[in-house]
Amino acid sequence: MRTTLLPNPGRRRCLAGLPLLATAMFVKPALADPGVKQYSRMLLGTKVDIVVQSDATTAAESASRMAFAEMARLEQLMSRYRPDSQISALARAAGRNPVPVAPELMAILQSAKQMSLRSQGAFDITVGAYAGWDFDPAHSRIPSPVELASERQLVDYRDIVLDERRGTAYLRRPGMKLDLGGIAKLPILQAGLEVLRRNGHHNAMINGGGDVLVSGQLQGRNWRVGLRDPRTPERLLGVVALSDGIVASSGDYERCFVRDGHRYHHILDPRTGQPSQGPHGVALVANRQEAVNGLGAAIMVGGVARGQKWLDAQPGVDALIVPPGQSPWLSAGMAARLSV
C-alpha cells in the first residue's frame, strides 16, 4: 500500500507524464481568463498545482506562496527520506524510547491506526520496513524472499504506541519504519487549501499527483475532474463535477517497472511485502478528506469485495474501482455523479 512521500530525485514513473486516476484537466481553458491564476511547485514527490480565481494577482500570489510553505513544512515533518523529519526520528528511536511529535503528525498517526483497524491490516504504515524495493526502472530492485521474510517481522500497526496526552509516538521493535505515503498527502494538501481560504480565496483548487481538492467554483461552475482509465491512462472513464470536495485516487501504474514480463508496482501488501494483487485503480469522491484518507490504498490491497464492504460502512463516499480483467465497478453515488 506504499506510495512515496518525497522520493529520490531520480525516480521515474512507468507511464511518465501521466497523472494518476484523477486529473483536473479542464482547468487549462480557464487559464486564458486573467482572473484565473495557476502556480506550481514540486512537493510530496510530485507536481502540486494551485489554481485560484482572483482579480487580485498580488494577493493570489502571496496566498499561494503561504500555502506552498505550509505544505512544505508538513512534508518536512513526515518524509521518511529526510533525516531531520520526525518520521526518521521515530525510526532511529524504534525499540528504545518514545519521540515527541507535532500535533499534525499525531493526527495522521491516529488516522492511520484507525484505518489499519478498519481494514484489518490491509492498510499499514509500518510497511516502511520493506526497504529493499526500488521502483525506478533505471535501477530497479526486487528484494529476496529471505529479505522480505526478515522485514515482514517488523510490519504490524499494533506496534505503534501513541500517547496523545504526552504528545509522543513509539515504535515497539528496533528496525521498524513508517511510510506515510498512503495517508499524509491528503491532509497536507488540505492544509494548503485552508491557507488559501483563510486568505480570502474560496474559489480554489489544489491538485497533487492525482488527488484533487476543490473549494467553491471555477468561473461560476463546479470544478470538473476527469477520471482516467488505469488500464489505458490516456483515456478518460468519465468526469465528475464538484464544489468543496475531494477526488482521491490510487493506482498501480504510476511507479513501477517490468522484469521478465511481470510488472512490479509500488503499492505493497503489508502481509507479504509484494505488490498488491487487487484492483488496478481506485477513485473516491467525498466532501471531506477524512472520509477517504487511506481508504483507496486499503482497497488496492484488500480487493473489490472487501472494498465494497468498507464503502458500505462509510456513507458519503462515491467510488470507482477498476478490477483486473473486469469492467469498472461504480457505487450508486458514483454512477449518478459520473458523466462520460
Q: Which residues face 36 on adjacent strands?
A: 53
Q: Which of 17, 67, 79 is nearest to 40 (CA)?
A: 67
Which percentage of the chain shows pLDDT scores above 70? 91
Lowest mean pLDDT across 30-39, 179-188, 253-262, 266-275: 253-262
Q: Please name the amino acid found at residue 267.
A: I
Buried/exposed 55-77: b ≥16 CB within 10 Å, e otherwise: eeeeebeebbeebbebbeebbeb
The reply to whether 130 falls in a domain is no
Nearest-angstrom CA–CA distance, 263 and 20: 17
Q: Is residue 115 part of a domain?
A: no
Q: Nearest 5°: phi and psi at 149? A: -65, -40
191 within a domain of the structure (yes/no): no
In sequence order, what are the residues at sequence separation of 6 or more whose Cβ sits closer than 8 angstroms to the Cβ of residue 290?
A: 111
- For range 87-108, the mean pLDDT: 98
Q: Is the residue at 240 inside a domain?
A: yes
Task: Note the pLDDT of residue 31.
Answer: 80
Q: How many domains does the chain contain in total?
A: 1
Q: Which residues contact 260 (CB under 8 A, 6 or more apart)?
A: none
Whole-number pLDDT of residue 26: 62
- Is 269 within a domain? yes
Q: Do 334 and 282 contact (CB within 8 A), yes or no?
A: no
- Output the pLDDT for position 252: 80
Residues 242-289 pLDDT 10s: 999 999 999 887 677 888 888 888 899 999 999 999 899 999 999 999
pLDDT value for 330: 96
| pLDDT given for residue 334 in this prediction | 97
- Note the pLDDT of residue 125: 98
Give the model's pLDDT for residue 14: 56
Q: Which cell numbers in the block locate residue 160?
A: 505503534
DSSP state for residue 235 in the 8-state scheme: E
**Per-residue pLDDT, 209:** 83
Q: Can you give the pLDDT at residue 1?
A: 34
Give dist(CA 101, CA 226) in Å, integer: 37
Helix (H, G, I), strand (E, B) or coil at 36: strand
Averaged pLDDT, 198-208: 97
Which residues, in sequence order, are bridge partners of residue 275?
268
| 3-state class (DSSP) for residue 234 | strand
Q: Is residue 187 part of a domain?
A: no
Edge-to-edge strand order for the sheet containing 232-242?
A: 22-23, 223-229, 232-242
What's the pLDDT at 297? 95
Domain extent for 316: 22-55+205-332
pLDDT of 16 reads 39
Alpha helices, DSSP H, located in the chain: 57-78, 86-92, 103-118, 145-152, 185-198, 295-302, 304-312, 332-337
In a domain, 174, yes or no: no
Least confident of 28-32, 179-183, 323-327: 28-32
Assign residue 210 the CATH number of its domain.
Answer: 3.10.520.10
Q: Is the pLDDT of residue 9 over 60?
A: no
Query: Is the residue at 74 inside a domain?
Result: no
pLDDT of 258: 84
Nearest alpha carbon to residue 162 among 147, 176, 172: 172
pLDDT at 17: 37
Residue 196: the pLDDT is 98
Mean pLDDT of 325-334: 93
Mean pLDDT value across the chain: 90
Q: What is the pTM of this model?
A: 0.91
296, 21 contact by CB (below 8 A) = no
pLDDT reported for residue 137: 85
Query: Where is pLDDT greater, at 232 or 317?
Result: 317
Expressed in angstroms, the distance from the first to the final Cα of the chain is 29
pLDDT score for 219: 93
pLDDT, tens digit, 9 for 90 and up, residues 48-95: 999 999 999 999 999 999 999 999 999 999 999 999 999 999 999 999
Alpha-carbon distance of 216 to 149, in angstroms, equals: 49
Confidence grade of residue 229 (pLDDT, cut at 50, 70, 90): confident
Question: How confident is the model over 164-168, as a mean pLDDT?
Answer: 97
